[in-house]
Structure 1
Amino acid sequence: MYRYFNSSYKFGSIAGALSIIAFITLSFLYPDPTNLNLVFGYVITPVAIFLAIKFFKEYGNSGYLSFAEGMSVGFVAYMLESIISLGGIWLVLLIHPDLFEQIKLSKLDVLASSKDSIVSQVGGDSFDLTLESIKNMIPFDIALNDALWKIIPGLFFTIIISIILRKNPN
């Protein structure tokens, strides 16, 4: 079992650590680093999945890869990345509550500046519900959102990469 997930652990852990580093770095450059960190996640997640599956195929499985093996290796890679990212971002926001408040204020400002557009598209009740949810937001919510936006594309990329790299013995 270890040979199946050796590369997953490595690349998932590296991607998770890079995601935390990106969040911290972006927090120095922008008042709300969450959106750009999501974009970073869209770049690093498929790279980590590809490398994990490719390394498993080449170095752990003699050049062969079934779809199920690719899905398993990719799943571990993106789940580990998202869990490490969730824990790291949550910890950063707990240690620096001023950063959390800055992010919260930024999200409230964006919501207020686009109120007319949002109300016209989804209605006043949806706007009020969104406003209330942002006001009640806690640091874990930001970290969980980041993790979820690594899992959802991670599944998609794992399917595609597993199909592309699949090679069964003849």
Structure 2
Amino acid sequence: MSKYFGSAYQFGTLGGILSLVAFGVMSWLQPDPTNLNLIFGYVITPVSIFLALKYFKDYSNNGYISFSEGMSVGFVTYLIIGLISGLGIWIILLIFPDFFESIKASKLEVLESSRETIVSQVGEESYQSTLTNVKAMVPFDIALNDTIWKIIPGLFFSIIISIILRKNPN
């Protein structure tokens, strides 16, 4: 089992920690670091998956990797990234409730400034529903959103990278 997932544990943990560091650094740069952290996740997730698959292929599997092995190692990698990042963000927001409130206020401000555009595109009822949901937001919601947006793209990155690195013994 460690043959298959040793590299996934290493690079998934590294990616999750880097994502948390990015969240912390971006929180000093602006009041709502969540959107930039998602963008950073689109960079760190494929890099971590690539490194985990390349390491597995070169050092654990004699230079070969099948598509299914790539998908398995990739799955564990992006799952670990998402869980570490989401859990860390949740803990940070619980420890610093004022920080959470500033993120929430920023999201409400963006929603209010975009009101006309949103209402014209999806209607007043959808806008009011979104406004109610943002007002009821808790720290776990932000953490869950971050986790989901690390896992979903991770699936697609794993597919692409597994195809690129695939090499079966003949």
CA shift, 1:77, in A, is 0.2
What amino acid is aligned across from residue 132 of structure 1 in structure 2?
Answer: T
Match of 1:13 in 2: 13
CA shift, 1:112, in A, is 0.2
What amino acid is aligned across from residue 14 of structure 1 in structure 2?
Answer: L
CA distance in 1 between counterparts of 2:165 and 2:110 reads 42
CA shift, 1:36, in A, is 0.3
Asked if 1:151 corresponds to 2:151, the answer is yes
What amino acid is aligned across from residue 16 of structure 1 in structure 2?
Answer: G
What amino acid is aligned across from residue 120 of structure 2 in structure 1?
Answer: S
Scaled by the length of structure 1, what TM-score is found? Answer: 0.99
Equivalent runs, 1:102-141 vs 2, <5 Å: 102-141=102-141
CA RMSD of aligned residues (A): 0.4
CA distance in 2 between counterparts of 1:95 and 1:10 reads 27
Instruction: After the TM superposition, list the runs of 4 or more consecutive aligned residues in structure 1 that deviate by more than 3 angstroms.
Output: none
CA shift, 1:91, in A, is 0.3
Match of 2:91 in 1: 91
What amino acid is aligned across from residue 160 of structure 2 in structure 1?
Answer: I
Percent sequence identity over aligned pairs: 66
- Listed as ranges, the gaps of 5+ residues in structure 2 are none
The superposition leaves residues 28-63 of structure 1 with CA deviations (integer Å, 9 ceiling, x where unpaired) of 110100000001000000000000000000000000
CA shift, 1:24, in A, is 0.9
CA distance in 1 between counterparts of 2:83 and 2:114 reads 32
CA distance in 2 between counterparts of 1:20 and 1:162 reads 26
The superposition leaves residues 111-138 of structure 1 with CA deviations (integer Å, 9 ceiling, x where unpaired) of 0000000000000000000000000000
Aligned residues: 170
Match of 2:24 in 1: 24
CA shift, 1:92, in A, is 0.3
CA shift, 1:11, in A, is 0.3
